[in-house]
Amino acid sequence: MVNNVNIELANKEAIKLIQAAQPIIKGVGVARDVVPGMRENMILHAGPPITWDRMSGPMRGAVIGGIIYQGLAKDQASAEKLAASRDIVFAPWHEHSGVGPMAGVATANMPVWIIENKTHGNRTYCTLNEGLGKVLRFGAFSPEVIDRLRWMQDILGPVIAAALELRGEINLKSLIAQALQMGDEVHNRNRAGTSLFFREIAPAIVDTKFRDADKKKVLEFITSNDHFFLNLSMPAAKAMLQAAEWIKGSTIVTTMSRNGTDFGIRVAGLQERWFTGPAQMVKGLLFPGYSDADCNPDLGDSAITETAGLGAFSMAAAPAIVRFVGGSASQAYEITNRMYEITEAESESFQIPALDFRGSPTGINLLKVCERDILPQINTGIAHCRAGIGQVGAGLVNPPFACFEAALEAFAETYAPVFQ
Amino acid sequence: MVNNVNIELANKEAIKLIQAAQPIIKGVGVARDVVPGMRENMILHAGPPITWDRMSGPMRGAVIGGIIYQGLAKDQASAEKLAASRDIVFAPWHEHSGVGPMAGVATANMPVWIIENKTHGNRTYCTLNEGLGKVLRFGAFSPEVIDRLRWMQDILGPVIAAALELRGEINLKSLIAQALQMGDEVHNRNRAGTSLFFREIAPAIVDTKFRDADKKKVLEFITSNDHFFLNLSMPAAKAMLQAAEWIKGSTIVTTMSRNGTDFGIRVAGLQERWFTGPAQMVKGLLFPGYSDADCNPDLGDSAITETAGLGAFSMAAAPAIVRFVGGSASQAYEITNRMYEITEAESESFQIPALDFRGSPTGINLLKVCERDILPQINTGIAHCRAGIGQVGAGLVNPPFACFEAALEAFAETYAPVFQ
């Protein structure tokens, strides 16, 4: 009991809300129409707030691409000039009920997933996954990247939107639970999730009024990219955690996020305040031809999956991921087992077969992280540190301890006198 | 060295052929046109040879359904009369380069998968999976079963055949290898395999000239049945083992199969000879409302997956299957580890993530089974023991030791004097 706040009870309440959340796919809309506060000159990005002058290379590359795609500038030079001016408003996705993988850049014209937590009614958003190779989220902005984004706006978004209208909502929590039984941890391994979503949507796509050639291209686009589901698992995780975003006195972490420069966390009992520290370097497997010198520090909102007990927290469900991020299968089990040390609960929905169906470690407790000196584990993609290049690998990373220390201090101040 | 036959070298040769096999989906044809020796009055069935009077309930039910479907009789009574006469020729699928799950009944008009082992050129066949519930392979033969088979003949088969022609062959070995990374063992868990096949075929189905309504129904039919892939994994396993079906002096088991009355095996060095013993009762999980008294003994050609190192041999890749067949995840690991004791090799293609990507136990050695007194493990569906009902559960079962003893004796006689 702290200043009339019982932390234990508050955390129980937060966990109850997270467990009860039921994220579904509601539809696909255009960011300007559906994302709260979105406007023409706004650029949403991953991680805590950041200004142009402090942005890393891949974040700058994605911003340049976003500005060109949105038609606000014609080329790189004028886009950079505009980005540095006051005419562009930068804002974290997390402050607009959304998430974005890697750079996470979104502009007003982009189609976005609309995810709804059926239990509590809150909605979250995310762009549609662009695929692999040269893509905006890893900082590429060449004409092929912009052309693909325009096709996604003109065809991909509308076809999926129409198919979802015919088919009705899709239960994302169930898809994620099934994917964990099929070797995904739905952060860096999404092959099962993508497959299951594809099975759900394909018959309805055939049913839409679009041309056969467009239907076929949409199906091929989805199936050619095993990460397509990532942009669904992320807003699903966000929709679950958002339910607990403001529980007075709770020390449950509701956000872990990186902008490529800073790592930021938010805590239920501290509402919308960010606590940051330097984004760390990722250790893992690099694509041929790249070295550590090519790697940007940790980037993206995708650590929302770990915050919800998925991603690296559920690595024991996805031993095959070590082929992508490095390590051995036994290491995957060790990571999940360690994460039980800093979490408050075991998921009632997400089960890990290899641990005899134990629920995934859910609800990071700030106090446990600090007391036990165990940092959350994250697995993640690695972007090239220069704008315009793209992904160079994938690996494992932790947050800086500094953001947890800062949050603990703020919690003590807010709920004094318990920690004094 | 036995009578100029070196068993070790012969087994090495058999393993080499099995490892080198590359099963692909070549197409879909009609049994009468493509299955060697198929004719109008022939009924192919699972397991070793059997006569009507010795057939179990579900096998009889499937035969009745097959006769009605093929138009050889109008109702159950006349179908039974015909089945008991000499006008129907019964033959094991295995003697016609094919396999059939459970009763495995196939008639001339049925569409069948054409699988080719690209390395050695041999082809194998299997019907298309009918779905769950009341289905022919579990002995049901009501009008809904027959109607579904006719729709499969008129629409499902032709649509998939046309899609495959547009798309070209599909590498089945690769799909199976991926499915093992996604929690399938491709016998009783085929959710990943079905998903991956669906992703491969859906865009091409959109591309065919059929009506949108038919395309949609075909996609829905496939995606509504997680066992759809079983009828692909089985002939793929058969195509691999067929390559080793006649290697002089080899003690590698090339067939394990059940007709619901007898369990039969065949051994590479003993060519096409069957060695049989009584089919055993399956221990596992029954659907609500059924008891042991409802269960038929072990049935079906699906143990070809175990013979190829898949199914229960790869259960460590599919811990989630224990929810279907009973047991715990740790039991799944134990089973796979035990099967290494009776096999000659580890698969170069099929890897088990949880065992740090160890190759699946491949190539059952008759000598090891007998010397070490360890029986192959099989997981399997359970049919109701009466004709016309269907599936009642799933579980674990072993072959009777008798067939291995008989094969060992025959091997000794054939290759005397080594065992004398």
Q: What share of chain B in percent tops pLDDT 70?
A: 98
Task: Mark yes or no for CB contact B212/A216 under 8 Å.
Answer: no
Residue B202 near chain A (CB below 8 Å): yes
pLDDT band at B325; cut points 50, 70, 90:
confident
Name every chain B residue with its beta carbon within 8 A of the beta carbon of A319: 353-354
Q: What is the pLDDT of residue B170?
A: 98
Instruction: With beta carbons under 8 A apart, name residues in chain B contacting A191.
Output: 178, 182
Q: Using CB atoms, which residue from A183, A206, A330 is nearest to B219?
A: A206
Mean pLDDT of B140-164: 98
Spell out the per-residue pLDDT of chain A, length 420, in tens.
456 679 999 999 999 999 999 999 999 999 999 999 999 999 999 999 999 999 999 999 999 999 999 999 999 999 999 999 999 999 999 999 999 999 999 999 999 999 999 999 999 999 999 998 889 999 999 999 999 999 999 999 999 999 999 999 999 999 999 999 999 999 999 999 999 999 999 999 999 999 999 999 999 999 999 999 999 999 999 999 999 999 999 999 999 999 999 999 999 999 999 999 999 999 999 999 999 999 999 999 999 999 999 999 999 999 999 888 888 899 999 999 999 999 999 999 999 999 999 999 999 999 999 999 999 999 999 999 999 898 999 999 999 999 999 999 999 999 976 544
Smallest Cα distance from A354 to chain B, Å? 6
**Whole-number pLDDT of residue B323:** 85
Check CB contact under 8 Å for A198 and B196: no
Taking the C-alpha atoms of residue A57 and residue A69, their distance in angstroms, rounded to an integer, is 18
Q: Which residues of A touch B203 (CB under 8 A)?
A: 216, 219-220, 223
Helix (H) or strand (E) holding A200: helix A191-207
Nearest C-alpha neighbor of B277 from the set B369, B347, B349? B369
Indicate yes or no: CB of B202 within 8 angstroms of CB of A207: no
Q: Is the pLDDT of residue B11 over 90?
A: yes
* Interchain CB distance below 8 Å, A183 and B178: no
Q: Indicate the burial class of B273 (C-beta count within 10 angstroms; 0-12, 13-18, 19 or more).
A: middle
Q: Does A196 touch chain B (CB under 8 A)?
A: yes
d(CA B244, CA B255) in angstroms, rounded, equals 10
Hey, is the C-beta of A148 within 8 angstroms of any chain B C-beta? no
Beta carbons of A183 and B202 less than 8 Å apart: no
Secondary structure element (H or E) that encloses residue A265, with its range: strand A262-267
Question: Which pair of tokens denotes residue B411?
Answer: 């091997």
**Region B225-246 average pLDDT:** 97
Band (pLDDT 50/70/90 cuts) for residue B416 is: confident
- Percentage of chain B beyond pLDDT 90 is 94
**B68-95 mean pLDDT:** 98
Cα B113 off chain centre by: 13
Mean pLDDT, residues B102-108: 98
Would you call B192 and A192 a contact, using CB atoms and an 8 Å cutoff? yes
B224 has a chain A CB within 8 A of its CB: no
User: What single string gives the DSSP state of each residue in A46-83?
Assistant: SSS---GGG--HHHHHHHHHHHHHTTS-SSHHHHHHHH
**Residue B174 pLDDT exceeds 70:** yes
Burial of B303: CB neighbours in 10 Å, binned 0-12, 13-18, 19+: buried
DSSP A325-373: H-S-HHHHHHHHHHHGGGEEEEEEEEEEGGGTTEEEEEEEBHHHHHHHT
Q: What are the φ and ψ backbone dihedral angles of A271, each rounded to 5 degrees? A: 55, -120
- Confidence label for B417 from pLDDT (cuts 50, 70 and 90): low
* Residue bearing tokens 């999940």: A336
Domains of chain B, with CATH numbers?
22-234 (3.90.1710.10), 245-414 (3.90.1700.10)
Whether B216 contacts chain A with CB within 8 A:
yes
Joined together, the tokens standing for residue B357 give 């990507």
Residue B76 contacts A, CB cutoff 8 Å: no
- List Cβ neighbours of A413 (8 Å cut-off, separation of 6 or more): none
How far is it, in rounded angstroms, from Cα A194 to Cα B296?
38
With cut-offs at 50, 70 and 90, classify the pLDDT of residue B116.
very high
Whether this model's ipTM surpasses 0.90 comes out as yes
Q: Which band of pLDDT confidence, cut at 50, 70 and 90, is reported for residue B327? A: confident
3-state secondary structure of B357: coil
Distance CA A192, CA A64 (A): 33
Q: Within an 8 Å CB–CB cutoff, is residue A9 touching chain B? A: no
Distance, C-alpha B415 to centroid of its chain:
30
Is residue B274 within 8 A of residue B264, CB to CB? The reply is yes
Rounded mean pLDDT, B285-314: 97
CA separation (Å) from B410 to A304, B167, B403?
A: 63, 47, 11
For all residues of chain B together, what is the average pLDDT?
Answer: 96
| Bridge pairing between strands B89-92 and B358-364 | unpaired
pLDDT digits 0-9 by tens, B242-283: 999 999 999 999 999 999 999 999 999 999 999 999 999 999
| Cα nearest neighbour of B223 on chain A | A199
Give the span between the Cα atoms of B26 and A271, in whole angstroms: 59
Say how many C-beta atoms besides its own lie within 10 A of residue B118's C-beta: 17
List Cα–Cα distances, B122 to B36, B119, B196, in angstroms: 12, 8, 24
Q: How far apart are the first and last CA of chain B?
A: 14
pLDDT of residue B420: 43
The residues pairing with B267 across neighbouring beta strands, listed in sequence order, are B253
Sort out which chain B residues have CB atoms less than 8 A from A184's CB and list them.
182
Q: Does A353 touch chain B (CB under 8 A)?
A: yes
- Which whole number is the average pLDDT over B18-47? 98
Give the whole-angstrom CA distance, residue B400 versus residue A214: 55
Determine, for residues B191 and A178 on separate chains, whether the beta-carbon distance falls below 8 Å.
yes
Q: By the CB < 8 Å criterion, does B357 face chain A? A: yes
What is the rounded average pLDDT of the residues B168-192? 97
**Touching B: A residues 315-334, CB under 8 Å:** 319-320, 323, 328-330
Select the more confidently predicted residue: B419 or A82: A82
